[in-house]
Amino acid sequence: TFSQLCGFDYGTKSVQICKAPWFIKDKPRFEFRGLLLDTSRHYYPIDIIKQIIESMSYVKLNVLHWHIIDEQSFPLEVPAYPKLWKGAYTKWERYTVEDASEIFSSCFMFCGDVTVKLCENERLHSIYATDILGHSLTYSVYLDQLIIICGINVMAEIDVPGHAESWGTGYPDLWPSSSCREPLDVSKNFTFEVLSGILQDMRDIFPFELFHLGGDEVNTDCWKYTPHVKQWLQEMNMTTKDAYQYFVIKAQEIAISKNWTPVNWEETFNTFAEKLNPKTVVHNWLGPGVCPKAVAQGFKCIYSNQGVWYLDHLDVTWDGFYDAEPLEGITDYVEQKLVIGGEVCMWSETADPSNVQQTIWPRAAAAAERLWTSKEAAPTSNTSETALTRLQYFRCLLTRRGVQASPVTNRYARNPPYGPGSCYDQ
Amino acid sequence: TFSQLCGFDYGTKSVQICKAPWFIKDKPRFEFRGLLLDTSRHYYPIDIIKQIIESMSYVKLNVLHWHIIDEQSFPLEVPAYPKLWKGAYTKWERYTVEDASEIFSSCFMFCGDVTVKLCENERLHSIYATDILGHSLTYSVYLDQLIIICGINVMAEIDVPGHAESWGTGYPDLWPSSSCREPLDVSKNFTFEVLSGILQDMRDIFPFELFHLGGDEVNTDCWKYTPHVKQWLQEMNMTTKDAYQYFVIKAQEIAISKNWTPVNWEETFNTFAEKLNPKTVVHNWLGPGVCPKAVAQGFKCIYSNQGVWYLDHLDVTWDGFYDAEPLEGITDYVEQKLVIGGEVCMWSETADPSNVQQTIWPRAAAAAERLWTSKEAAPTSNTSETALTRLQYFRCLLTRRGVQASPVTNRYARNPPYGPGSCYDQ
């Protein structure tokens, strides 16, 4: 917020703050403002991830949803089960425990050097800090807001049981059979032992209260054709749908036992809402409508409607991101409070280190404003006069900070500029 | 060279150098190994330019050819003529003198902390250094080679008289008329006073011996239709072609008087070779053939054949860059030595901070190997077994260092990956 007031004056060659002193009154509309990064379809070196984390801080996104593993690769070191990262593409496309800790740590690098001094009012504090541009600043905030604005949490994801084929490269017993490689083998205790080992090792790295257990796009067909799984289903008197539910609920129990609040993709809610742990945070992705249903049943919800907030949908322009409304269809105030926020999702089937930042920026900034700013202050009417001008300016600020953000108004995301021109005239 | 031997071992979690100790015998084939960056068609903030400079050091490119100004914008501060940068797109898209100095300084940041110790043999030295990855190293080199490998020179360019419309935004007298805005007004002393002022101010910033004076694509038609220029031509008894030559030669004289060696695009050589100062370095761009002619007449030459070494030609694949041969058509050894090197050119009509690094890398690395490595060690046969494997590995190394390099074998440069996969399997 503060750095938005600073501008370089080319006449005096100094950084100036116009109309100072300022009284800044600013707080986020939603507590959870996330960006998903998928490191399984393509691997991102930690230098790239740190660049992304730094750029998130510029728009006050505060959760990196790290979709670490998927069916294509298992890049993370898990000390309890050291063969798991044999599922990485190569031995170089891996995150050591130290790398993961470094990613976590870098999420707090961009707070500046913040010193908090208690003032007469017990909740009002003076903050002495250095902002991201290195300018000294002093301002007063309520401490609970400081905690909200400072630092980025990492919400790790282990997407089970569907998106997990790569687990079996190191431990083939996790596959129901060589021809049925996912979902993970629901019939073996070993599957849940491995899951528990992963969650235990990750607990040591990621202190955030939320952990994402996936649960989406589970096609259980091949469980039926795998003799020992079929036999187990019969013994348990379960359909494959029952077994999918059994897997998800058991994974939730393990996560909760390790003091995590579980997050699941919306299919789990759509399929067996009544069985989900009441603490479950339902993560919308398929389309509009699930958050209203989830909060009506008392669940918390994260909004990521793919039609507007999936960054890999290159045809969604900045205003599509900006116009999205996480509270759409929810009128009751108590239910609205259960929507903890939203998240833009950078799936990596066709993104890699060469183009990921151009795909994220500047569209993620439009969603970030929706998540931060009150609805009244960020209307969806007349946006080409209000939000667009701001976003174009911000895109140029991103490039000034070394972030490879795309032109704002290109028809498809990450397209090059059409011809010579100013950054401010896109 | 040294850092190529270092590898991270995921078993021991340490950086290892296999088969040490090594005796490294390595020197460049050409002394001039350049990359042109055009900051007029789009502006690059200095953070982006510094990223590019750092990445140049990874492939031992050693000249940043900074094409600062062109007809679209004049982003540079010139203290002698302070209105010139009114030709910038906006007041934010400008380089102060301090910015230009910072760009120059950053060209030497990537040498590491190099200490030279004289040994018994007066030309053999021990070098104690920290390489770009921060590893300590000690090795012996000949001092003249150290100078060659350490640091990047900046060759600035003021492209006159054709590509200079933006000069007149601040000083309209530089335009022949409001409807004839380039070439610059050849008839006024003021034009050469401004040119001299620019060159004097730039002399304080850039110590490199070469300065690029442009001279390409000069269409003198509108000089003929501008009354006072037409009258001047008659008084001087000059054709417009004579006046073009007059301008270029006068610009050369000013540059030489400030202790610079002038570089000119090949049109100057093609049009009036016999009038060029013998010190002139002829810069090829149109196609093959000019370097053989230039060196036969005793001129030095830089090779940038647009068919193979223009990075904005997105349809030239990595092997087009790799197979290029700066000495093509030159058999005489003395003439070969006059080809001081080559340069890949990143023109910015459709490149900006969002896509420039993807357009440069990895193809520039293929040209860099051609410029560094002896012809015998970098044959153009069987390259998919030799060079391609190395380049794919190097592209992943670039991404590991935070550089946004594109997949190597995409059909058009800077295209995204086709689907999920390893960086090493492009």
A136 — pLDDT class (breaks 50, 70, 90): very low
Omega before A75 cis (within 30°)?
no
Q: Is A134 on the interface with B (CB under 8 A)?
A: no
Judge whether residue B115 has pLDDT over 70.
no
Judge whether residue A104 has pLDDT over 50.
yes
- ipTM higher than the 0.85 cut: yes
Sign of CA dihedral B312, B315, B320, B322: positive
Judge whether residue B335 has pLDDT over 50.
yes
Q: Find out whether A174 and A185 touch, Cβ atoms under 8 Å.
A: yes
Judge whether residue A127 has pLDDT over 50.
no
Q: Tell me: the pLDDT tens digits for B198-252?
A: 999 999 999 899 999 999 999 999 999 999 999 999 999 999 999 999 999 999 9
- Please report the pLDDT score of residue A147 as a whole number: 43
Q: Tell me: the pLDDT tens digits for A250-295?
A: 999 999 999 999 999 999 999 999 999 999 999 999 999 999 999 9
Q: Is B72 strand, coil or helix?
A: coil
Min Cα distance A57 → chain B (Å) is: 18
Same domain, A298 and A238: yes
Percent of residues in chain A assigned helix, strand, coil, to nearest 5 = 35, 15, 45
Q: Find out whether A150 and A133 touch, Cβ atoms under 8 Å.
A: no
CB contact under 8 A, A420 and B348: yes
- Please report the pLDDT score of residue B268 as a whole number: 98
Q: Is A199 strand, coil or helix?
A: helix
A54 contact residues in B (CB cutoff 8 A): none
How many domains does chain A divide into? 2
Exposure of A23 by Cβ count < 10 A (0-12 exposed, 13-18 middle, 19+ buried)? Answer: exposed
Judge whether residue A138 has pLDDT over 80.
no
A185 — pLDDT class (breaks 50, 70, 90): very high
Residue B15 lies in a domain: no
Q: Find out whether A322 and A282 touch, Cβ atoms under 8 Å.
A: no
Cα–Cα distance, B345 to B286 (Å, whole number): 12
Q: What is the mean pLDDT of residues A285-311?
A: 98
Judge whether residue B38 has pLDDT over 50.
yes
Residue B238 lies in a domain: yes
A424 contact residues in B (CB cutoff 8 A): 89-90, 92-93
- Please report the pLDDT score of residue A110 as a whole number: 54
- Please report the pLDDT score of residue B137 as a whole number: 46
Min Cα distance B156 → chain A (Å) is: 20
Cα–Cα distance, B76 to B40 (Å, whole number): 10
What chain B residue is nearest to A393 in terms of C-alpha separation? B92
What chain B residue is nearest to A404 in terms of C-alpha separation? B354
On average, the pLDDT of chain A sits at 90
What chain A residue is nearest to B360 in terms of C-alpha separation? A354
Residue A284 lies in a domain: yes
CB nearest B404 (choices: A350, A357, A416): A357
Residue B129 lies in a domain: no
B5 — pLDDT class (breaks 50, 70, 90): low
- Please report the pLDDT score of residue A269 as a whole number: 98
Angular region, A329: left φ>0, alpha ψ -120 to 50, beta rest: left
Min Cα distance B109 → chain A (Å) is: 17
Q: What is the mean pLDDT of residues A212-225?
A: 97
- As beta bridge partners, residue B140 has B126
Sequence-distant (≥ 6) Cβ neighbours of residue A85 within 8 angstroms: A74, A75, A76, A77, A78, A94, A170
Exposure of A210 by Cβ count < 10 A (0-12 exposed, 13-18 middle, 19+ buried)? Answer: buried
Same domain, A43 and A129: no
Same domain, A223 and A246: yes
A177 — pLDDT class (breaks 50, 70, 90): very high
Min Cα distance A249 → chain B (Å) is: 30
Same domain, A36 and A143: no
Catalytically annotated residue among A217, A235, A349, A376: A217
B125 — pLDDT class (breaks 50, 70, 90): very low
Same domain, A210 and A308: yes
Min Cα distance B36 → chain A (Å) is: 17
Min Cα distance B337 → chain A (Å) is: 38
Judge whether residue B39 has pLDDT over 60.
yes
Judge whether residue B142 has pLDDT over 60.
no
Sequence-distant (≥ 6) Cβ neighbours of residue A57 within 8 angstroms: A110, A132, A152
Going from the C-alpha of A21 to that of each of A1, A126, A145, B144, the distances in angstroms are 14, 15, 21, 57
Which of A120, A147, A174 delimits the end of a domain? A147
Same domain, A105 and A122: no
- Please report the pLDDT score of residue B1 as a whole number: 59
Q: Find out whether A30 and A373 touch, Cβ atoms under 8 Å.
A: no
On average, the pLDDT of chain B sits at 90
- Please report the pLDDT score of residue A260 as a whole number: 96
CB nearest B357 (choices: A73, A404, A417): A404
B48 contact residues in A (CB cutoff 8 A): 399, 402, 404
Judge whether residue B188 has pLDDT over 90.
yes
CB contact under 8 A, B404 and A355: yes
Q: What is the mean pLDDT of residues B379-388?
A: 91
DSSP state of A407: P
Cα–Cα distance, B357 to B346 (Å, whole number): 10
Altogether, the residues listed in chain A come to a count of: 426
Cβ atoms < 10 Å from Cβ of B264 = 25
- Please report the pLDDT score of residue A16 as a whole number: 77
Least confident of A118-122, A279-283, B10-14, B38-42: A118-122
Residue A142 lies in a domain: yes
Q: Is A106 on the interface with B (CB under 8 A)?
A: no
Q: Find out whether B110 and B53 touch, Cβ atoms under 8 Å.
A: yes
- Smallest CA-to-CA distance from A63 within A364, A379, A407 is with A364
Residue A414 lies in a domain: no
CB contact under 8 A, A42 and B350: no
Least confident of A144-148, B115-119, B149-153, B234-238: B115-119
Q: Tokens 């021991």 correspond to what residue?
A: B12
- Please report the pLDDT score of residue B106 as a whole number: 80
Q: Tell me: the pLDDT tens digits for B281-316?
A: 999 999 999 999 999 999 999 999 999 999 999 999
Sequence-distant (≥ 6) Cβ neighbours of residue A95 within 8 angstroms: A39, A46, A68, A75, A76, A77, A103
User: Could you list the residue range(s) of the whole structural domain that residue A116 is in?
Assistant: 111-147
Sequence-distant (≥ 6) Cβ neighbours of residue A264 within 8 angstroms: A212, A213, A214, A215, A248, A252, A276, A280, A281, A282, A283
Sign of CA dihedral A246, A250, A251, A253: positive
- Please report the pLDDT score of residue B138 as a whole number: 47
Identity of the amino acid at B307: G
Q: Tell me: the pLDDT tens digits for A30-69?
A: 999 999 999 999 999 999 999 999 999 889 899 999 999 9
CB contact under 8 A, B13 and A351: no
Longest dimension (CA), chain A: 81
- Please report the pLDDT score of residue A151 as a whole number: 77
Strand A339-346 relative to strand A300-303, pairing: parallel
CB contact under 8 A, A355 and B416: yes
| Residue A165 known to be catalytic | no
CB contact under 8 A, A354 and B358: yes
Q: Mark which residues 27-86 of A lie under 8 Å from B by CB.
A: 40-45, 47-48, 50-51, 72-73
Judge whether residue A116 has pLDDT over 70.
no
Residue B352 lies in a domain: yes
CB nearest A419 (choices: B349, B353, B401): B349
CA B22 and chain centroid, separation: 32
CB contact under 8 A, A424 and B89: yes
Q: Is B416 on the interface with A (CB under 8 A)?
A: yes
CB nearest B354 (choices: A44, A404, A420): A404
Same domain, A235 and A169: yes
Same domain, A142 and A152: no
Exposed e or buried b per residue across B309-320, where buried means at least 16 C-beta atoms within 10 angstroms of its C-beta: bbbbbbebbbbb
Cα–Cα distance, B340 to B194 (Å, whole number): 31
Residue A2 has phi, psi (to 5 degrees) of -65, -45
Same domain, A142 and A157: no
CATH of the domain at B295: 3.20.20.80
Percentage of chain A surpassing pLDDT 70? 88
Residue A240 has phi, psi (to 5 degrees) of -65, -30
Question: Which residues of B are catalytic, by number?
Answer: 217
Query: Three-state SS string across A283-319, please?
Result: ECCCCCCHHHHHHHCCCEEEECCHHHHECCCCCCCHH
Q: Tell me: the pLDDT tens digits for B52-84?
A: 999 998 898 999 999 999 999 999 999 999 999
Same domain, A252 and A226: yes
Six-digit token string for A374: 């009150």
Cα–Cα distance, A33 to B259 (Å, whole number): 57
CB contact under 8 A, B420 and A42: yes
- Please report the pLDDT score of residue B74 as a whole number: 98
Q: Is B357 on the interface with A (CB under 8 A)?
A: yes
Residue A225 lies in a domain: yes
CB contact under 8 A, B354 and A407: yes
Cα–Cα distance, B328 to B307 (Å, whole number): 14
Which of A147, A170, A192 delimits the end of a domain? A147
- Please report the pLDDT score of residue B110 as a whole number: 54
CB contact under 8 A, A416 and B348: no
Same domain, A258 and A345: yes
Q: What is the mean pLDDT of residues A293-310?
A: 98
CB contact under 8 A, A10 and B40: no
A35: part of which helix (H) or strand (E)?
strand A32-38
- Please report the pLDDT score of residue A2 as a whole number: 63
CB nearest B47 (choices: A351, A402, A418): A402
- Please report the pLDDT score of residue A124 as a whole number: 44
